[in-house]
């Protein structure tokens, strides 16, 4: 369960509609992302690796406080995310409130607090990696993650294969790939 709040929404344009149009077609959700109030939206996801993907996508977009609630939801599920209930919803609410007080603007709360804390630590580390990545590193990462070899990426970018490797290394791409499954496992454990 994710509850996400736009930062500085009183001083900037509303971005919720744009991010909903970005996420909903691309993210397999149990209940789709939808605006819940003002500058906030929620979505219910079943797979922890998808949660990691969405969290990092939102971190890259910037300007969001992200709360992850790990735990069960009340069933049967309602047709709308706004009508949902259960421990995951409560945890996500507590998490987004906590995220607003954290430097990473990201928090995890869950049924197993110790595992939620560990998931939060790993996701926060990943957030730092994503936030500090240069545009050049993103170019190389997107090409390689899109299925191109480093040599193909080099040709497309007009640089050497070694330069692509340097961009991947500078962007800590390998570290991100190592930490993503760890974050997903910890989120699954945090759900109980």
pLDDT surpassing 90 at residue 9: no
Give residue-wise pLDDT tens across range 114-153. 999 999 999 999 999 999 999 999 999 999 999 999 999 9
Least confident interval from 59-68, 75-84, 124-133, 140-149? 75-84
The predicted model scores a pTM of 0.92
Mean pLDDT check: name the lowest of 34-43, 139-148, 161-170: 34-43
* pLDDT value at residue 37: 83
Sorted by where each begins, the domain ranges of the chain are 2-133+172-190
Per-residue pLDDT averaged across 147-163, rounded?
96
Q: What is the pLDDT of residue 8?
A: 78
Can you give the pLDDT at residue 12?
78
Phi, psi of 176 (to 5 degrees): -60, -45
Q: Give me the residues paired with residue 48 across strands.
A: none
């Amino acid at each position: 369960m994710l509850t996400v709040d736009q930062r500085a929404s009183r001083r900037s344009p509303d971005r919720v509609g744009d991010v909903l149009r970005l996420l909903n077609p691309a993210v397999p959700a149990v209940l789709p992302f939808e605006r819940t109030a003002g500058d906030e939206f929620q979505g219910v996801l079943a797979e922890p690796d998808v949660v990691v993907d969405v969290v990092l996508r939102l971190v890259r977009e910037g300007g969001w406080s992200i709360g992850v609630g790990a735990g069960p939801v009340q069933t049967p599920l309602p047709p709308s995310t706004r009508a949902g209930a259960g421990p995951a919803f409560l945890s996500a609410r507590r998490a987004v409130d906590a995220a607003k007080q954290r430097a990473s603007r990201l928090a995890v709360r869950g049924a197993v607090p110790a595992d939620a804390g560990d998931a939060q630590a790993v996701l926060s580390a990943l957030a730092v990696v994503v936030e500090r990545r240069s545009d050049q590193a993103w170019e190389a990462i997107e090409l390689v993650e899109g299925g191109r070899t480093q040599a193909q990426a080099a040709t497309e970018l007009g640089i050497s294969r070694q330069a692509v490797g340097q961009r991947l290394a500078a962007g800590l791409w390998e570290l991100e790939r190592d930490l993503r499954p760890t974050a997903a496992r910890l989120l699954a454990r945090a759900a109980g």
